[in-house]
Amino acid sequence: MAIATINPATGETLKIFEPLTDAEISAKLEFSQQAFEKYRQIPMAQRSQWMNATAEILEREKEKFGKLMTLEMGKPLKGAIAEIEKCALVCRYYAEHAAEFLADVPVTTDANHSFVRYQPLGAILAVMPWNFPFWQVFRFAAPALMAGNVGLLKHASNVPQCALAIEEIFTQAGFPAGVFQTLLVGSDRVVAIVADERVKAATLTGSELAGASLAAAAGKQIKKTVLELGGSDPFIVMPSADLEAAVATAVTARMLNNGQSCIAAKRFIVAEAVADRFEKQLVEKFKVLKVGDPMLPDTDLGPLATPNILQDLDYQVKETVKSGAKVLAGGQPISDRPGNFYPPTILTDIPPGTPGDEEEFFGPVALLFRVTDIDAAIKLANATPFGLGASAWTTDEQERDRFVSELEAGAVFINGMVKSDPRLPFGGVKRSGYGRELSIQGIHEFVNVKTVWVK
């Protein structure tokens, strides 16, 4: 894939970038290594100051960066600006808490003095997706840099200007040159970069295929990885639920970011007793969503990020319908305008073995399933290779406890939408990946947990 800015709302190619040569990549890795040797000595208070300065730049220029994201990948501008604000929040969170999270931990043993010390590893490669072009990067970079590591960003090829802007923000904030560098390279260079001895560990947010490839390359070199991969999150509605609230949240949870979020609710699993009402209200709400130019303030749903994503989604819907699923809304790409537009879509009566039953749908398509009781709801929710998030709606305490303990997911939200929060760990189980970002767990992923024993 070319490294380029292509407006997904118009299909227009706005800027093309030459990928770095191997010699240029090597020079950047060398610079990164040198920067690490000095940066690891910088006191935490100074790192915090630079991280807070990063937050200030983001807050001050949130409109500018928000527009850049909308231009490159099509998310509605309001959401883009909120994403920049959230990036500032994660910077401030780690600026404030890193010292406490990384403080020595005393442990009583047979030594006179024994403790755990957290030390940085060096250059960490972050391979990132286009769907939250700033947030995905900042939730990696804020803890990694506060821990004394240096960052190397290989961003998705369709958001090169976001990638360059992020490097510029860290530099402007005062971080020394080389502490955070963007590498404009295609995915074909990733294996070689991971294998380079100057790179100490890697994190990838994206598809299973990309994650497996990166982890295999890192595994050969015995390097640590964190993987944040796909999801097909269930959204379960039980008879006792506040139905109005559940339907309203269902719309947001499915449509956020034009339906292209790993933790979007994708499979709606509804108890028979309330299924007709849920379905009717969901259809009504989907049909009034405004599809259009993502730069306009009243747009609910912009274009999908690339023509390929549109094609894949269209194929998944068509295959599922061909096998007997019923279309309650949408169902066909929007063809009377340029850009990668797909309408809010609901499928039901989804036969087993179809894409709707087995795959992640990365776009504004809700998959609706009916179940007789909680046993069937949990069984269906877990019948997926993924395990990222799960949302369950009930006011029954016993049901709540069962969902919390039996749903196979990295996060369970009761009566709320799955979302990330700097204060809470984020990550998946099963084929959704491993490791955690955010919170104290996130900053401990890329450190040497050093045991110290002194007699």
CB of 230 to ligand NAP, least distance (A): 3
Minimum CB–partner distance for residue 136 and ligand NAP (Å): 6
- For the bound state, the minimum distance from the C-beta of residue 128 to ligand NAP, rounded and expressed in Å, comes to 6
Write down the least CB distance from residue 327 to ligand NAP, Å: 24
229 vs 238 by CB, closer to ligand NAP:
229
> Which residue's CB is nearer to ligand NAP, number 87 or number 388?
388
Work out how close the CB of 381 gets to ligand NAP at its nearest, in angstroms, rounded to a whole number.
17
**CB 454 to ligand NAP: min, Å:** 40
Instruction: Give the nearest residue (CB) to ligand NAP.
Output: 206
Judged by the rule CB under 6 A, the positions of this chain that interact with ligand NAP are 1, 127-131, 154-157, 186-187, 190, 205-207, 209-210, 213-214, 228-231, 262, 360, 362, 388, 428, 433
Sign of CA dihedral 196, 202, 208, 212: positive
In the complex with ligand NAP, the residue whose CB is nearer, 139 or 200, is 139
- Would residue 272 show up in a list of annotated catalytic residues for this protein? no
In terms of CB distance, is 293 or 359 closer to ligand NAP?
359
SS (HEC) of the chain = CCEEEECCCCCCEEEEECCCCHHHHHHHHHHHHHHHHHHCCCCHHHHHHHHHHHHHHHHHCHHHHHHHHHHHHCCCHHHHHHHHHHHHHHHHHHHHHHHHHCCCEECCCCCCEEEEEEEECCEEEEECCCCCCCHHHHHHHHHHHHCCCEEEEECCCCCHHHHHHHHHHHHHHCCCCCCEEECCCCHHHHHHHHHCCCEEEEEEECCHHHHHHHHHHHHHCCCEEEEECCCCEEEEECCCCCHHHHHHHHHHHHHHHHHCCCCCEEEEEEEHHHHHHHHHHHHHHHHCCCECCCCCCCCCECCCCCHHHHHHHHHHHHHHHHCCCEEEECCCCCCCCCCCCCCCEEEECCCCCCHHHHCCCCCCEEEEEEECCHHHHHHHHHCCCEECEEEEECCCHHHHHHHHHHCCCCEEEECCCCCCCCCCCECCEECCEECCECHHHHHCCCEEEEEEEEC
Is residue 357 within 8 Å of residue 329, measured between CB atoms? no
Q: Is the Cβ of residue 150 or residue 227 nearer to ligand NAP in the bound state?
A: 227
Toward ligand NAP, which CB reaches closer, 120 or 442? 442
Name which of 70 and 131 has its Cβ closer to ligand NAP.
131
Active-site residue flag, 228: yes
Minimum separation from the CB atom of position 133 to ligand NAP (A) = 10
Q: Which of 72, 83, 228, 399 is catalytic?
A: 228
Which residues participate in catalysis according to the annotation?
228, 262
